């Protein structure tokens, strides 16, 4: 299939483009390059454009005639969403609506949506199933939930079938070392810890050590980015096949690791000291976030290949060592 991949120059989008190409599909990356990178687009064409620009979107669709869409393009900084909610609703919700209306008008019938476990809010039970109430506690999670609702309405009104994939913590890098995680600013724990190991930061700040967990730090479910990418391939193929599917699936390993466990594992993988500095809790950080991904195992035969935390971190470390800033201190640290 020819597939439009919005946000295809980003972290998960670029890994998904590689997985799509390996499965015989043509990924067309559509990205405004606010957070994406041209060097990450290597398995199909890159078309620069914004979802707010309907004219540009129409041009790209008319040129390539994609048969489906995988939609990653979104802002994803939780703290920023609290400070500037309008930016998130305008980009994540209005941009998605623009995309869906373009799909409607051009007769594109399938979409896989990059959603998030942030739609659940503070969990009532662990592991979290797809049936868990969705009560986001920040505008980022709320914006993703709004799009999930819009997708349901567009399926009823226009026949556009979709799957929303609710990620837990994406981590790691392409095992071949061709692409990896490169955010600015970086907020994810594993790359921040590896920047400490690599000398870019003097320490890692641990936000809270008095949670109701075995070592007092937050527990999260880490899922390798290559496994995430493969789930998107299976999801778009399932939509095209017409098989019965759920409207949403969790993507996680079903196991959690604490912040201190991640730091200790990274120290073992890199063979380097990783100094910690304790900080106050961040508002809205649940003690545990672990997903139940049994439904996608059952329906799409998806199983993560990278379930060992050390292996996940090792792929990220190999990529990190190739980055141009490796061994150089960054001006701002946290």
Return the beta strands (E) in the chain as ranges. 2-6, 26-31, 46-48, 68-71, 110-116, 161-167, 169-171, 204-207, 219-220, 222-224, 248-251, 257-258, 276-279, 288-289
Do 192 and 334 contact (CB within 8 A), yes or no?
A: yes
Q: What Rg do the C-alpha atoms of the chain give, in angstroms?
A: 19
CA neighbours closer than 13 Å in the CB half-sphere of residue 150: 20
Residue 321: helix, strand or coil by DSSP? helix
Residue 106: helix, strand or coil by DSSP? helix
Do 329 and 280 contact (CB within 8 A), yes or no?
A: no
Both tokens of 249, joined, read 């699936």
Q: Which residues are catalytic?
A: 140
Both tokens of 159, joined, read 């026949």
Helix, strand, coil abundance in the chain, percent, nearest 5: 40, 15, 40
Angle at CA of residue 168, ends 166 and 172, nearest 5°:
125
For residues 112 and 293, what is the distance between their CA atoms, to the nearest angstrom? 17
For residues 87 and 89, what is the distance between their CA atoms, to the nearest angstrom? 6
Do 247 and 156 contact (CB within 8 A), yes or no?
A: no
């Amino acid at each position: 299939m020819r597939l439009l991949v919005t946000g295809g120059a980003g972290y998960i989008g670029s890994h998904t483009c590689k997985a799509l190409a390996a499965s015989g599909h043509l990924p067309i990356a559509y990205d405004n390059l606010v957070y994406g990178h041209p060097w990450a687009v290597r398995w199909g064409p890159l078309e620069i454009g914004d979802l707010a620009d309907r004219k540009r979107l129409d041009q790209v669709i008319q040129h390539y005639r994609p048969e489906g869409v995988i939609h990653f393009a979104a802002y994803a900084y939780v703290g920023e969403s609290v400070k500037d909610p309008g930016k998130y609703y305008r980009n994540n919700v209005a941009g998605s609506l623009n995309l869906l209306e373009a799909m409607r008008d051009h007769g594109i019938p399938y979409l896989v949506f990059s959603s998030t476990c942030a739609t659940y809010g503070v969990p009532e039970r662990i592991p979290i199933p797809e049936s868990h109430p969705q009560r986001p506690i920040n505008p980022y999670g709320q914006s993703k939930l709004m799009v999930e609702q819009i997708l349901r309405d567009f399926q009823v009104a226009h026949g556009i079938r979709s799957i929303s994939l609710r990620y837990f913590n994406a981590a790691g890098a392409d095992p071949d070392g061709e692409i990896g995680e490169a955010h600015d600013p970086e907020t994810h724990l594993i790359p921040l810890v590896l920047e400490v190991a690599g000398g870019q930061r003097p320490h890692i700040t641990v936000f809270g050590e008095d949670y109701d967990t075995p070592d007092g730090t937050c527990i999260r479910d880490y899922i390798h980015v290559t496994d995430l990418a493969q789930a998107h391939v299976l999801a778009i193929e399932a939509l095209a096949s017409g098989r019965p599917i759920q409207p949403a699936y969790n993507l996680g390993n079903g196991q959690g690791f604490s912040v201190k466990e991640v730091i200790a594992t990274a120290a073992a993988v890199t063979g380097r000291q990783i100094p910690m500095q304790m900080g106050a809790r961040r508002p809205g950080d649940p003690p545990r976030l672990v997903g139940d991904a049994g439904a996608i195992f059952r329906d799409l035969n998806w199983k993560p290949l990278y379930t060992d935390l050390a292996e996940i971190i090792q792929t990220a470390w190999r990529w990190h060592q190739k980055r141009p800033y490796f061994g150089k201190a960054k001006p701002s640290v946290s």
